[in-house]
């Protein structure tokens, strides 16, 4: 296990370095710059601003300075767009928001999705099963940029139960709709995946053997069937989890939650170089970290996998 | 000592009496019943760039800055100058030296008096290359003496043409005569700055808790990408005359979500999404408002060497312009009170009288016939192929499609449409890698030159690279003229003939506005609104 972790870390460092270099060059290759605007700045003004941010240095030097700043001071640079904030400020503000609604959406999707899938599979071809299949099919294809505004329409305008947006320090009333909007389609996918995987397992020989031994159905499902049925679900969950906790542009945009997703996408539009780099590196690190966690869980859940 | 105490007590009593007048619930002038909750909540599309007066560059940021800080002059509901920190000014005969008299009762939110030195500091800070302000160039628009040298770092900011004669007298020296100089002092970049706060906190001086400001409000809360809150500044000299207690700006990117939240009563003001004005003005006639804005929507031709040969022919440019039926775009596509444009400068611009350019006087049928004739004269009666670029947006797309259809049906012109992401688009357009490109232009101040500078040969904004010596001369003369209007009129006539650009429409602003919030300055063409002038009446 320790060996696996060490090996992963050894690979992570060059991976992040390559990610930095590639992103840096791609970013600068995009036409326009952070200070390109409808009303172009006079050359003198532009030169003053570029000098202030070190953008007049050759590209390689800018990159060396950038990486140097991270390694020595953990300084990810300033935002060019939001002049009173650094990248560290932006991440410190956006990441907690994103982590909270991302994690809650994940829990919402997994708990509801797995339960729905298992119950549907156990009661295959029952009325509940048909209902579950129909509902999940619908929920899976409903994109969150449609679902978000519909939720606001229902819960804010018609029922007046929940505020239509904002984060409000993570107040539960503000969290509910983002979590449902982000989690629902994943919940549906998880339910469908769980159902089909469970059905397959329930038809397999070792379950038949267990039934023949007279083990109660409840024990068979909980003790014998659930764990192997979860394998395909877990390989699906790993990227979903990383995706959820790294933020959603749509959720941030529809619900004004102020999470990282919005900053990330907008930094690309604004050519806010340092913000884009900072969030890319953060997401890259999170992806590597959680992939490692998933590999560990794999080894624990499936005895056939050994590292 | 006794006298001071007495004066203080009296001042307190006056404050108390007038404050209780609000509590009693009537407006001191109009006598309307006031609402108990004087909070104004509005939607902004995007997070503001800054609330530092010398750094802010976006419209929604400038709106906040106008509440937090106060410059020499403010604007009234019609856009006229009214006293701010300055009570009045005098000028010398050739209008190169302006002397402002400041009020002696203006205070910063920390209780320090606002003096002429705070303006000197703010203006030097704006011009100083070390500040790296995106509005640094505004000192050149103001025409301050030595602005060019200071901006380039060749002269110390202390050489800028502004000085404090005493605490309440500010003297401004200009490079050349500038009759409209006083108008520039309502711009947020010319507001004073508190040196002690900037020195103490550096770039963090604008954060709530650190910020010191001299306007009617202070910034009390800011959650980036979510909300900013400003509340009454008890030190403001006219705090007694201010009625709104609290102003909240909520960042809501999605226009349709903002409308839903407005309908749910969470907002007092939001923009009306394109195409929804007709239905909303029927369902909520007291709330849907429309007013002209100082902005023009247009398409430009690439007239540089890299542009296509056909577009160098004036007749082709005219034909393409004539064939666009503006009323279809304003009445059928946008439906939000926009006005068809035949000149570049909007009619709402102060003192600007829209000249009757010949093609604007024709009917659309006449224009279409004339367009066909012009194309035939130019030798393109069999049609022409052109490429049109616009920045990615549903509305721009609809307009571009409508235009290309009009050109195809009326002139046989085949148009290739291409959309580009914003910064890529600006880069392409700025480097003249286009044939026809979309443009949108909003005035920086309420004077026709803010529009017409765009057609000056050496202007950095002139992406079509149009060049006409007569236009350049007329605009140069206008700068120092006491009455530049005839020059502007003549320039419009010339460009209506040369047609370096196709004016399509002049923008209209439209809002859903809480009917209890009054009085929104719809006649202020720059939409420079001040929360201190607004109030909420009771239901």
> Is B266 a member of any domain?
no
CA closest to A46 among chain B residues: B134
CB contacts of B204 in chain A (<8 Å) are 84
Residue B155 shares a structural domain with residue B26:
yes
Distance from CA of B261 to the nearest CA of A (A): 6
Q: Give the CA dihedral A82, A84, A87, A93, nearest 10 degrees.
A: -90
Across A145-174, b (16+ Cβ under 10 Å) vs e yields eebbbebbbebbbeeeebbbbbbeeeeeeb
CB contacts of B441 in chain A (<8 Å) are 38
Closest residue to B129, CB basis, from A48, A81, A270: A48
Closest residue to B250, CB basis, from A52, A81, A166: A166
Distance from CA of B177 to the nearest CA of A (A): 22
What does the alpha-carbon distance between residue B9 and residue B1 come to, in Å, rounded to a whole number?
Answer: 12
Q: Are strands B436-442 and B246-251 parallel, antiparallel or unpaired?
A: unpaired
CA-closest candidate to residue B341, choices B504, B509, B495, B508 = B504
Distance from CA of B154 to the nearest CA of A (A): 12
CA closest to B264 among chain A residues: A157
Closest residue to B461, CB basis, from A39, A53, A152: A39
Residue B198 shares a structural domain with residue B107:
yes
Each of the 307 residues of chain A gets a pLDDT tens digit; together they read 788 888 888 988 999 999 999 999 999 998 888 888 888 888 888 888 888 888 888 989 998 888 888 888 888 888 888 888 889 999 999 999 999 999 999 999 999 999 999 999 999 999 999 999 999 999 988 888 999 999 999 999 999 999 999 998 889 999 999 999 999 999 999 999 999 999 999 999 999 998 899 889 889 888 888 888 888 888 888 788 888 887 788 999 999 998 998 889 889 988 999 999 999 999 888 888 888 887 887 777 776 766 5
The per-residue pLDDT for range A233-245, each reduced to its tens digit, is 888 887 888 888 8
- On the question of pLDDT at B206 being above 80, the answer is yes
> Is B397 a member of any domain?
yes
Other C-beta atoms within 10 Å of B329: how many? Answer: 21
Residue B383 shares a structural domain with residue B529:
no
Residue B32 shares a structural domain with residue B76:
yes
Closest residue to A253, CB basis, from B254, B444, B460: B254
What does the alpha-carbon distance between residue A273 and residue A78 come to, in Å, rounded to a whole number?
Answer: 9
Structure tokens that stand for A84 in this block: 């009173």
Q: Please state the length of chain A.
A: 307
CB contacts of A151 in chain B (<8 Å) are none
The per-residue pLDDT for range B255-307, each reduced to its tens digit, is 999 999 999 999 999 999 888 999 999 999 999 999 999 999 999 999 999 99
Can you list the alpha helix ranges (DSSP code H) found in B91-187? 116-127, 138-141, 147-151
Cβ contact A84–B260 (<8 Å): no
The per-residue pLDDT for A306 is: 63
User: Where is B340: in which H helix or E strand?
Assistant: strand B339-340
CB contacts of A263 in chain B (<8 Å) are 225
Residue from A33, A45, A259 whose CB has the most chain B CBs within 10 Å, to mutate: A45
The HSE-up count of residue A194 (CA atoms within 13 Å, CB side) is 30
CA dist B103 → B28, B197, B260, B329, B508 (Å): 23, 22, 45, 49, 37
Closest residue to B424, CB basis, from A32, A45, A94: A32
CB contacts of B266 in chain A (<8 Å) are 156, 163-164
CA closest to B392 among chain A residues: A269
Residue B226 shares a structural domain with residue B310:
no
CB contacts of A94 in chain B (<8 Å) are 225
Cβ contact B251–A41 (<8 Å): no
Residue B357 shares a structural domain with residue B463:
yes
Phi, psi of B493, deg, nearest 5: -65, -40
> Is B260 a member of any domain?
no
> Which 3-state string (H, E, C) describes A28-51?
HHCCCCCCCCCCCCCHHHHHHHHH
Distance from CA of B156 to the nearest CA of A (A): 15
Can you give the residue range of the structural domain that contains B492? 292-509
Placement of tokens 């890299």 in the chain: B306
- On the question of pLDDT at B2 being above 60, the answer is no
The per-residue pLDDT for A9 is: 86
Residues A282 and A95: beta-carbon distance below 8 Å? yes
- 3 state DSSP class of B131: helix
Percent of chain B residues topping a pLDDT of 90: 78
* Mean pLDDT in residue range B180-205: 94
The per-residue pLDDT for B482 is: 83
Cβ contact A38–B226 (<8 Å): no
Q: Are strands B288-301 and B436-442 parallel, antiparallel or unpaired?
A: antiparallel
> Is B285 a member of any domain?
no
- On the question of pLDDT at B1 being above 50, the answer is no
Cβ contact B260–A153 (<8 Å): yes
CA closest to A166 among chain B residues: B226
Structure tokens that stand for A89 in this block: 């400020």
What does the alpha-carbon distance between residue A109 and residue A104 come to, in Å, rounded to a whole number?
Answer: 8
What does the alpha-carbon distance between residue A232 and residue B271 come to, in Å, rounded to a whole number?
Answer: 47
> Is B222 a member of any domain?
yes
The per-residue pLDDT for A1 is: 72
* Mean pLDDT in residue range B354-359: 92
CB contacts of A82 in chain B (<8 Å) are 47, 49-50, 224
Structure tokens that stand for B36 in this block: 């108990």
Cβ contact A48–B153 (<8 Å): yes
How many domains in chain B? 2
* Mean pLDDT in residue range B521-535: 93
Distance from CA of A34 to the nearest CA of B (A): 9
- 3 state DSSP class of B242: coil
Other C-beta atoms within 10 Å of B277: how many? Answer: 21
Cβ contact B130–A52 (<8 Å): yes
Distance from CA of A166 to the nearest CA of B (A): 6
Residue B428 shares a structural domain with residue B529:
no
Cβ contact A38–B250 (<8 Å): no
Residue B459 shares a structural domain with residue B525:
no
Cβ contact B257–A262 (<8 Å): no
> Is B273 a member of any domain?
no
Closest residue to A52, CB basis, from B132, B424, B444: B132
Closest residue to B55, CB basis, from A35, A48, A83: A83
Which pTM value belongs to this model?
A: 0.87
The HSE-up count of residue B405 (CA atoms within 13 Å, CB side) is 9
Q: The domain that contains B95 carries what CATH number? A: 3.90.76.10
- 3 state DSSP class of B117: helix
CB contacts of B263 in chain A (<8 Å) are 157
Closest residue to B256, CB basis, from A38, A42, A149: A149
Can you list the alpha helix ranges (DSSP code H) found in B177-221? 195-201
Cβ contact B224–A51 (<8 Å): no
Cβ contact A84–B424 (<8 Å): no
CA closest to A263 among chain B residues: B225
User: Where is B100: in which H helix or E strand?
Assistant: strand B97-102
CB contacts of B136 in chain A (<8 Å) are 44-45, 48
Closest residue to B203, CB basis, from A42, A84, A93: A84
What does the alpha-carbon distance between residue B141 and residue B123 come to, in Å, rounded to a whole number?
Answer: 13
- On the question of pLDDT at B359 being above 70, the answer is yes
> Is B518 a member of any domain?
yes
What does the alpha-carbon distance between residue B228 and residue B76 come to, in Å, rounded to a whole number?
Answer: 25
Distance from CA of A271 to the nearest CA of B (A): 8
Q: The domain that contains B399 carries what CATH number? A: 3.10.105.10
Closest residue to A167, CB basis, from B226, B423, B461: B226
Closest residue to B261, CB basis, from A31, A45, A164: A164
CA-closest candidate to residue B435, choices B317, B345, B295 = B317
Distance from CA of A249 to the nearest CA of B (A): 11
> Is B263 a member of any domain?
no
CB contacts of A262 in chain B (<8 Å) are 225, 253
CA closest to A93 among chain B residues: B224
Across A108-128, b (16+ Cβ under 10 Å) vs e yields bbbebbbebbbbbbbeeeeee
Name every residue whose Cβ is closer than 8 Å to that of residue B301 and which is 6 or more positions away in sequence: B307, B311, B317, B320, B435, B436, B464, B499, B500, B501, B502
Cβ contact A166–B426 (<8 Å): no
What does the alpha-carbon distance between residue A25 and residue A20 come to, in Å, rounded to a whole number?
Answer: 9
- On the question of pLDDT at B21 being above 70, the answer is no
The per-residue pLDDT for B306 is: 94
Residue B361 shares a structural domain with residue B460:
yes
Residues B39 and B221: beta-carbon distance below 8 Å? no
Cβ contact A262–B423 (<8 Å): no
Residue B194 shares a structural domain with residue B86:
yes
Residue B460 shares a structural domain with residue B502:
yes
The per-residue pLDDT for range B420-463, each reduced to its tens digit, is 999 899 999 999 999 999 999 988 888 899 899 999 998 888 99
The per-residue pLDDT for A245 is: 83
Residue B51 shares a structural domain with residue B171:
yes
* pLDDT level of residue B380 (50, 70, 90 thresholds): very high
* Mean pLDDT in residue range B223-230: 91
Placement of tokens 């022919």 in the chain: B313
- On the question of pLDDT at B9 being above 50, the answer is no
Distance from CA of A82 to the nearest CA of B (A): 5
Radius of gyration of chain B (CA): 25
Cβ contact A84–B204 (<8 Å): yes
* Mean pLDDT in residue range B534-538: 94
What does the alpha-carbon distance between residue B324 and residue B402 come to, in Å, rounded to a whole number?
Answer: 9
């Amino acid at each position: 296990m320790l060996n696996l972790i060490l090996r992963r870390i050894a690979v992570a460092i060059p991976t992040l370095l390559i990610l930095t270099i590639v992103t840096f060059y791609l970013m600068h290759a995009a036409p326009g710059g952070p200070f390109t605007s409808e009303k172009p700045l006079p050359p003198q003004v532009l030169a003053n601003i570029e000098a202030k941010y070190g953008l007049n240095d050759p590209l390689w030097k800018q990159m060396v300075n950038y990486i140097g700043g991270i390694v020595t001071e953990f300084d990810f640079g300033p935002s060019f767009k939001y002049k009173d904030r650094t990248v560290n400020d932006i991440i410190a503000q956006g990441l907690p928001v994103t982590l909270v609604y991302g994690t809650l959406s994940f829990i919402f999707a997994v708990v509801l999705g797995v339960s729905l899938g298992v119950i549907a599979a156990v009661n295959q071809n029952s009325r509940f099963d048909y209902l579950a299949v129909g509902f999940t099919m619908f929920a899976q294809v409903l994109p969150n940029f449609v679902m978000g505004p519909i939720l606001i329409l229902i819960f804010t305008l018609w029922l007046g139960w929940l505020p239509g947006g904002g984060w409000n320090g993570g107040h539960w009333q503000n969290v509910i709709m983002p979590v449902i909007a982000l989690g629902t389609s994943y919940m549906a996918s998880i339910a469908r995946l769980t159902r089909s995987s469970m059905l397959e397992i329930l038809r397999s020989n070792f379950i038949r053997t267990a039934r023949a031994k007279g083990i109660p159905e409840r024990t068979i499902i909980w003790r014998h069937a659930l764990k192997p049925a979860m394998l395909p679900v877990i390989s699906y969950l790993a990227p979903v989890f990383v995706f959820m906790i790294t933020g959603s542009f749509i959720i941030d945009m529809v619900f004004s939650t102020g999470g990282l997703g919005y900053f990330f996408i907008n930094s690309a539009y604004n050519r806010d170089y340092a913000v884009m780099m900072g969030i890319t590196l953060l997401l890259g690190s999170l992806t590597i970290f959680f992939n490692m966690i998933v590999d560990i869980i794999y080894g624990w859940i499936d005895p056939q996998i050994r590292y | 000592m006794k006298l001071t105490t007495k004066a203080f007590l009296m001042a307190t009593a006056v404050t108390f009496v007038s404050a209780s007048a609000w509590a009693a619930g009537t407006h001191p002038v109009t006598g309307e019943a006031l609402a108990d909750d004087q909070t104004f909540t509005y939607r902004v599309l995007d997070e503001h760039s800054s609330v530092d007066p010398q750094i802010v560059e976006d419209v929604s940021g400038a709106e906040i800055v106008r509440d937090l800080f106060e410059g020499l002059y403010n604007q009234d509901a019609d856009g006229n100058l009214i006293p701010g920190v300055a009570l009045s000014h005098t000028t010398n005969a050739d209008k190169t030296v302006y002397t402002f008299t400041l009020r002696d009762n203006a205070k910063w939110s920390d209780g320090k008096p606002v003096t002429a030195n705070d303006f000197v500091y703010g203006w030097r800070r704006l011009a100083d290359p070390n500040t790296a302000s995106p509005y640094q160039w505004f000192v050149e628009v103001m025409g301050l003496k030595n602005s060019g040298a200071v901006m380039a770092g060749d002269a110390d900011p202390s050489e800028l043409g502004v000085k404090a004669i005493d605490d309440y007298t500010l003297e401004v020296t200009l490079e050349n005569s500038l009759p409209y100089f006083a108008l520039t002092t309502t711009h947020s970049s010319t507001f004073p700055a508190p040196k002690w706060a900037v020195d103490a906190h550096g770039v963090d001086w604008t954060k709530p808790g650190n910020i010191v400001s001299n306007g009617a409000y202070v910034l009390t809360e800011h959650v980036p990408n979510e909300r900013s809150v400003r509340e009454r500044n008890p030190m403001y000299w006219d705090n007694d005359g201010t009625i709104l207690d609290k102003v909240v700006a909520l960042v809501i990117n999605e226009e349709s979500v903002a409308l839903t939240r407005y309908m749910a009563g969470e907002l007092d003001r939001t923009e009306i999404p394109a195409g929804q004005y007709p239905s909303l003005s029927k369902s909520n006639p007291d709330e849907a408002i429309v007013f002209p804005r100082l902005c023009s929507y247009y398409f430009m031709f690439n007239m540089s060497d890299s542009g296509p040969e056909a577009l160098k022919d004036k007749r082709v440019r005219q034909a393409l312009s004539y064939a666009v039926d503006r009323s279809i775009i304003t009445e059928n596509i946008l439906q939000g009170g926009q006005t068809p444009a035949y000149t570049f400068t909007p009619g709402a611009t102060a003192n600007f009288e829209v000249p009757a350019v010949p093609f604007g006087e024709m009917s659309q049928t006449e224009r279409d016939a004339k367009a066909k004739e012009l194309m035939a004269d130019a030798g393109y009666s069999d049609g022409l192929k052109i490429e049109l670029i616009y920045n990615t947006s549903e509305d721009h797309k609809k307009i571009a499609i409508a235009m290309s259809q009009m050109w195809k049906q009326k002139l046989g012109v085949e148009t290739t449409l291409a959309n580009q992401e914003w910064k890529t688009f600006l880069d392409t357009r700025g480097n003249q890698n286009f044939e026809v490109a979309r443009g949108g232009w909003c005035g920086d101040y309420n004077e026709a030159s803010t529009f017409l500078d765009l057609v000056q040969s050496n202007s950095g904004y002139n992406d079509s690279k149009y060049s006409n010596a007569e236009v350049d001369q007329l605009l140069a003369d206008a700068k120092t003229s006491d009455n530049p209007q005839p020059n502007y009129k003549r320039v419009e006539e010339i460009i209506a003939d040369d047609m370096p650009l196709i004016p399509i429409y002049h923008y209209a602003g439209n809002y859903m506005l809480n009917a209890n919030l009054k009085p929104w300055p719809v006649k202020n063409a720059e939409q420079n609104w001040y929360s201190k002038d607004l109030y909420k009446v009771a239901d």
